[in-house]
Amino acid sequence: MFYLIPGLGADERVFRNLQPLLHGPTQVLQWLLPEPEELLPHYAARMAEAIPAGQPCLLVGVSFGGVVALEICRIRPLARAILISSVPDASCLPPLLRLIRGSGAYRLFPPQWLKLFPRAGQWYFGVRNGEEYQLFHQILQDMEPRYTRWAIHRLLHWDSTSAGRSIQILGTHDRVFPPGPTPVDYLIPGGGHFMVVSHAPQIAEILNQLAAELPLARHSEQREESR
């Protein structure tokens, strides 16, 4: 079973190229509106309500969705976190985001400003022209400001202590979370931050391989065949 968590401000549309290529049932976990001053572990617990406690699964998170996936895995031990265009712990935040966090600049600019400069966002997220840009622009326009402001704050102040093991899939051209000195499990040549759309076949191949190797899933299949 694949549970898919989109990136910050995005929705199920980012998986439109990936989802049909996955071998097995899939479900996109929709973002919830955060409660006032809600902490990330509490928010992740609410998201986890959609996942049966005893179900082995791959929890595939894109960007901030990867952070939430790791938090969900704290309370769903049979879930395995797969990070696409994301980071395995807070120490991997790049210098730009650390600067934004330290300066508090993110508090001064409302998320709605992102909608005014879509071409700058296109460059930063590595979005190609044509259908990719149209999709990116639509998602940008549909962003919910309350959620986006909350998510940015939680990402920048994430306490990843004891977050657990994950599998990281990163693009070589990702400007948001560029590859650093920390080893990456799977590096996609030419992939940007929007590679869940642009490089869906390569990512699907990796995910299908990981799903086939999931021990608990294999044991479950064996039990079904023996009946």
The DSSP call for residue 99 is H
pLDDT, greater one: 72 or 113 = 72
CA–CA dist 61, 11 (Å, integer): 12
For residues 169 and 206, the answer to whether their CB atoms sit within 8 Å is yes
- For 123-154, the pLDDT digits (tens) are 999 999 999 999 999 998 888 888 988 999 99
Domains in the chain, start-ordered, CATH in brackets? 2-226 (3.40.50.1820)
Burial class (CB in 10 A: 0-12, 13-18, 19+), 101: middle
* Unique residue bearing structure tokens 């190797």: 213
Please tell me the predicted confidence (pLDDT) of residue 223: 38
Render the burial of 37-49: b for 16+ CB within 10 Å, e for the rest. eeebeebbeebbe
In percent, the amount of the chain with pLDDT more than 70 equals 92
CA–CA dist 11, 71 (Å, integer): 19
For residues 127 and 192, the answer to whether their CB atoms sit within 8 Å is yes
- For 20-50, the pLDDT digits (tens) are 999 999 999 999 999 989 999 999 999 999 9
Phi-psi region of 189 (alpha: psi -120 to 50; beta: other; left: phi over 0): beta
What residues contact 226, with CB distance under 8 A and at least 6 apart? Answer: none
Q: Which string of DSSP letters, residue by residue, matches 103-118?
A: HTGGGTS-GGGGGG-H
Residue 27: how many other CB atoms lie within 10 Å: 14
Distance of CA 180 to the CA centre of its chain: 18
When the pLDDT of each residue in the chain is averaged and rounded to a whole number, the result is 89
Burial class (CB in 10 A: 0-12, 13-18, 19+), 160: middle
For residues 167 and 80, the answer to whether their CB atoms sit within 8 Å is yes
The DSSP call for residue 162 is T
Phi-psi region of 61 (alpha: psi -120 to 50; beta: other; left: phi over 0): beta
Please tell me the predicted confidence (pLDDT) of residue 65: 96
CA–CA dist 74, 178 (Å, integer): 26
pTM of full prediction above 0.85: yes
